Structure 1
Amino acid sequence: MTPKSRTRRAAVSLAVLVGVVVLGGCGIRTTQVPVDAGPAPSRVPCEVSGESITPQTQQQGVPVRVYLVCASQLESVDRTARIPVEKNVDSRVRVAQALLDELEKEPSPPEHEAGFATYVRGPLVLTGARKGDPAGTLRLSRQPEDLPAPALAQIVCTFAESRAAATGGSVLLGGPGEYPPRAYQCSAGIKERPDEAVPTLGALPSSSAAP
């Protein structure tokens, strides 16, 4: 090896050594393997422990499932609701009103501790289908599209998984005005992003199925 070659190799080695020292001094770890640390851990459990739930034998009512907001998503919570027996009132309306009443309640201490919240604010009253409404329509005392998006998402998804749902799983909701009801759907996307508009099938045609 010539003296010129040895000098060139020494210069290259020195340059590499200086580069390593500079990187180390800047706190940069030299690696060619990408590190995927995964999503940041959530501090909100979004789950009520069984020990925090009052035993069914100590409550009066029937078991129901409602949707609350937790960590910016819809999550289901098991509760016990009172469904009054009222004459001349459709059973679907009674069930839906009981679910709506549950959604209006502030989360219990265990639910609150787990990160749950509700955007449904009362008073909200439900009535059945009017003359000309499609069968299975529920009318709110407020126009559904005037409610906050998360509140409407809570109502739709809670109703969709109960006897309040119409045929096909859609929720037929209308308001106090003369606007026709709409068929709202509880999709997986709306459970993940309840602050977005709840998907609908549009305005429904009038029907003579309602009394």
Structure 2
Amino acid sequence: MTPKRCTRRAAASLAVLAGVVVLGGCGIRTTQVPVDAGPAPSRVPCEVSGESITPQAQQQGIQVRVYLVCASQLESVDRTAQVTEKKAVDSRVQIAQALLDELEKEPSSPEHEAGFATYVRGPLALTGAREGDPAGTLRLSRQPEDLPMPALAQIVCTFAESRAAATGGSVLLGGPGEYAPRAYQCSAGIKERPDEAVPTLSALPSSPAAR
């Protein structure tokens, strides 16, 4: 085979097989060229598109932010909680219960399509601090430690970024029993890994609830 024919054959092979050089007729070994296309795009956007709050709902409630689980992490979504603005200002328990009710709801269609889910299962109720509890304590109808870790993480992070949080941003949660409440914290780590134990402060605030 002449050098001219060899060159034409190599050019034809390059045109047919992109990224692969085949020059078998000229005695050159086949070589595959790797292509770095970067990471595969995520199919879970974790972002609700469009406006899903009706004007009527806006008039009847207040704007709140709750944490749901998406792509194995905690991500926030905006909701309208059915509680009046006045009650939300006057009562920490009222706004905390409204937030808890929102967490118990199944995600809306836009939220579900974006990949959101909730691990908080009801019915769950809240009461205020008992005698001897630190000020700002919230008591759940179930022991917090008995909840699934992602559910507890959702509750703590939702409360921590609302008026339901105690002084300093921690969330003082207790259960229906005689166990003392714990001061839970919403850390960056728990938002990334909500299936792990929610961090707590080693010491509780010393000021008792007002009577």
The bucket for the TM-score relative to the shorter chain is: 0.7 to 0.9
The count of aligned residue pairs is: 182
2:141 corresponds to: 141
- Do structure 1's residue 54 and structure 2's residue 53 form an aligned pair? yes
Q: CA deviation at 1:83?
A: 1.6
SS at structure 2 position matched to 1:150? helix
- The AA in structure 1 aligned to 2:29 is V
C-alpha deviation, 1:64, in angstroms: 0.7
Give the one of 29, 33, 46 matched to 1:21. 29
Alignment-mate amino acid for residue 152 of structure 1: L
Pair 1:179 & 2:187 matched = no
Instruction: Say whether the 8 Å CA contact 1:180–1:204 is kept in structure 2.
Output: no
Identify if the C-alpha distance between structure 1 residues 178 and 206 changes in structure 2 by more than 3 Å, giving closer, same or farther.
farther
Aligned in 2, Cα 1:119/1:29: closer, same or farther, shift over 3 Å?
same
**2:62 touches 2:85 (CA, 8 Å); kept in 1?**
no
Identical counterparts, % of pairs: 81
TM-aligned CA distance change 1:200 to 1:159, over 3 Å: same
Structure 1: stretches of 5+ with no match in the other structure:
1-16
Alignment map for 1:149-160 (pairs within 5 Å): 149-160=149-160
After superposition, the Cα gap between the structure-2 partners of 1:85 and 1:192, relative to the gap in structure 1 and judged at 3 Å, is closer
Q: State the SS of the aligned residue for 2:166.
A: coil
Q: Secondary structure at the match of 1:173?
A: strand
Aligned to 1:9: none
**How far apart are the structure 2 equivalents of 1:159 and 1:141?**
16
Return the offset for 1:73: 0.6
- Quote the RMSD (CA, aligned, Å): 2.4
Q: 2:77 aligns to what? A: 77
Secondary structure, aligned partner of 2:96 = helix
> 1:209: Cα distance to partner?
3.3
Aligned to 1:12: none
**What is the SS of the residue equivalent to 1:120?**
coil
1:164 corresponding residue in structure 2: 164
| SS, match of residue 21 in structure 1 | strand
Match of 2:109?
109
The answer (yes or no) to whether the contact 1:69–1:75 under 8 Å persists in 2 is yes
